[in-house]
Amino acid sequence: MGGESLYVPDILRRLANTEFATQEGTLYPLLSKLRREDLVQYEWRESETGPPRKYYRLTTAGEAQLATLDDYWTRINRTLAGLGRSMETPS
């Protein structure tokens, strides 16, 4: 399994300036659902500043699902771009 493990505040920071900005109250239920579906897993890590922290990372199944979604998104974008070009061309 590749990729990095992320702490929830780090995930929220990465999403903050995107169309997918969210809050902890939304992210934790989503991560729980992804864990039940074996798409993410977590590990506890000791923290120097407080209690242990839970870090999440994609499982092998999660990476495969991400690759499938990325491929699907690429095909949708290509199709829409092609439609846009065909609409610009006068008949």
The pLDDT of residue 2: 57
**Is this structure's pTM higher than 0.85?**
no
Query: pLDDT of 60-72, one tens digit each?
Result: 999 999 999 999 9
The pLDDT of residue 67: 97
Identify the segments of the chain with pLDDT beneath 50. Answer: 1
6-88: which CATH topology?
A: Arc Repressor Mutant, subunit A (1.10.10)
Helix, strand, coil share of the chain (percent; to 5): 55, 20, 25
The pLDDT of residue 85: 78
What residue ranges do the domains of the chain occupy? 6-88
The pLDDT of residue 84: 81
